Amino acid sequence: MKIGICASPQEAKCVCGMADYIEMNLSYLASLSEEEVKEIKADMDACGITVSATNNLFPGDMRLCGKDVDTDTIFAYIRKAIESAALMGVAFCVFGSGRQRNIPDTEDRMACEKQLTDMIRFMGDCAKPHGITIVLEPLNSAETNVINTAREGAAWVKKIGHPNVMLLVDIFHMVKEKESESVILENIDIIRHMHIAEPEKRLYPRSGDAYDYYALKKLLTEAGYDGGISIEGIPIGEFSESAPESLGFLKSVFA
């Protein structure tokens, strides 16, 4: 298992030689020119940092479903975002974007779910030529009203049935939704990526937390999971101090 962390290009330099990889904000990368993305890639390469995953796939103001959404604009953005990820050498693009995918009460839910399903399939089609996998992230019900549990996410992945669309599990969201971690064992065949944080306050994991990281390691080993685990949470103090501490702790747990 590889331990990474969600970080900006500037923050990434603080964990050079410590993180197995970095997970960057894709909506930020997609806002840049091709040359600017290549400059960041060269900078990361010079530091010996691999950017193997991205999150925040869509801009905060881009609604993804509803009768008034601009599908052409969304699909054009997806193409640009995936191309930016490919320039960075990314393997996994996380699709969370809870606010953007939220289904308004005033909309037809079935129609919106159809829009989201078609959009995710299109994302998979765009990702396939680049060897990128879209990983669908279930988010707790305080953040969105669609795909709130890993079990629901697994059902969507199986319904979509695309080889480049798989599942992410996030420990914070699973605990928030009181979901048993046995769902990981049940769906290990489609799980490709993970997020982790101390579940109570969503802080960076560290020694002394109430959460049993060693039990999670045992479960993942039993399941045969060997993918990435990204720290996604709130640093305790300065990133430059909290991130190395958390990375060191998790690497000792999951070694």
Name the residue range of residue 193's domain.
Answer: 2-253
Q: Is 64 helix (H, G, I), strand (E, B) or coil?
A: coil
pTM above 0.85, yes or no: yes
Contact 88, 24 (CB under 8 A): yes
| Tens of each residue's pLDDT in the chain, 255 residues | 999 999 999 999 999 999 999 999 999 999 999 999 999 999 999 999 999 999 999 999 999 999 999 999 999 999 999 999 999 999 999 999 999 999 999 999 999 999 999 999 999 999 999 999 999 999 999 999 999 999 999 999 999 999 999 999 999 999 999 999 999 999 999 999 999 999 999 999 999 999 999 999 999 999 999 999 999 999 999 999 999 999 999 999 998
What is the model's pLDDT at position 255?
87
Three-state DSSP class for residue 94 = strand
Task: Evaluate whether 26 touches 9 at the Cβ level (below 8 Å).
Answer: no
Number of domains in the chain: 1
CB 99 within 8 A of CB 60: yes
**Cβ atoms within 10 A of the Cβ of 225, count?**
20
- Given this model, what pLDDT does residue 161 score? 98
Are 101 and 64 in contact, with CB atoms under 8 Å apart?
A: yes
What value, to the nearest 5°, has the Cα angle with vertex 22 and ends 97 and 124?
45
CB 60 within 8 A of CB 100: yes
Compute the CA torsion angle 169, 170, 175, 178 (nearest 10 deg): -30
Q: Return the CATH number at 68.
A: 3.20.20.150
Residue appearing with tokens 């600017």? 36
pLDDT value for 160 = 98
Is the distance from CB of 253 to CB of 213 less than 8 angstroms?
yes
State the pLDDT at residue 113. 98
Other beta carbons within 10 angstroms of residue 146's beta carbon come to 19
